[in-house]
Chain A
Amino acid sequence: DTGVSQDPRHKITKRGQNVTFRCDPISEHNRLYWYRQTLGQGPEFLTYFQNEAQLEKSRLLSDRFSAERPKGSFSTLEIQRTEQGDSAMYLCASSLTSGFWRAEAFFGQGTRLTVV
């Protein structure tokens, strides 16, 4: 399967613990995005990378959140000192984009985080 893969699919953690999620994009895609989705809402943009460079971060991404994409391949999203409000589905997407017309983004299955 050459789609976007995310790991783990589910994560239950205690408040105050740190968690890390991984995303493997489609191999030739230069863009990688992280979104967060809460129940009954559409996904909200968190951050994105072009190759290894993190180009934009949403105001939703507090100092407790950090994302990396070493060597422009897979990406990790870490949440430190988790809070109950962090409970959500974390979605990763990738796209191959160059030029004026941007391409579609393909999403992974998401990581569902529950903070207890």
Chain B
Amino acid sequence: SQQGEEDPQALSIQEGENATMNCSYKTSINNLQWYRQNSGRGLVHLILIRSNEREKHSGRLRVTLDTSKKSSSLLITASRAADTASYFCATDQDAGGTSYGKLTFGQGTILTVHP
């Protein structure tokens, strides 16, 4: 079953604008990861945020995590046409003392950046 729910399902912006995608989940987590997928290709890891972290940056990416609301957001600043892809959040559930590591993905946000 899909735990993460991304919002919006699709986002269309102009180059240079910022893109914000949101993810909500249901169970407590060890960490949350964001991935990018170009059409028909594999997933590229973007960023991991642990459950005890609230914000993380990597280049033009900013991820926030609110464990009380069970939600996360991914902000891409100064977007480029090359950022056009599907973006997925994936949760690694907190299984107590048992280390799982399997990821549960949402359905993704399709981002289109127009040049």
The DSSP consensus for interface residues of chain B is strand
Once the chains are docked, how many angstroms separate the CA of A31 from the CA of B43?
A: 17
Asked if A107 and B45 sit within 8 Å, CB to CB, the answer is yes
Once the chains are docked, how many angstroms separate the CA of A40 from the CA of B88?
A: 11
A48, A105, A106, A108 pick with most chain B CB within 10 angstroms: A105
Once the chains are docked, how many angstroms separate the CA of A40 from the CA of B86?
A: 10
Closest partner residue, chain A, to B2 (CB atom): A42
Asked if B42 and A97 sit within 8 Å, CB to CB, the answer is no
Report the interface size class on chain A. 20 to 34
Report the interface size class on chain B. 20 to 34
Choose among B2, B44, B99 the residue that contacts A102 (Cβ–Cβ < 8 A): B99
Shortest beta-carbon distance from A64 to chain B in Å: 21
Once the chains are docked, how many angstroms separate the CA of A20 from the CA of B100?
A: 26
Asked if B101 and A105 sit within 8 Å, CB to CB, the answer is yes
The 5 closest A-B pairs by CB, nearest first: A42-B105, A109-B42, A107-B43, A104-B48, A107-B42
- Residues on A close to B: CB < 8 A? 6, 31, 33, 35, 40-45, 48, 56, 89, 91, 93, 95, 97, 100-110, 112
The 28 listed contacts between A and B (C-beta, < 8 Å) are A33-B102, A33-B103, A35-B105, A42-B88, A42-B106, A42-B107, A42-B108, A43-B43, A43-B88, A43-B90, A45-B102, A45-B103, A45-B104, A48-B101, A56-B102, A89-B40, A101-B50, A102-B92, A102-B100, A102-B101, A104-B48, A105-B101, A105-B103, A107-B35, A107-B42, A107-B43, A107-B45, A109-B41
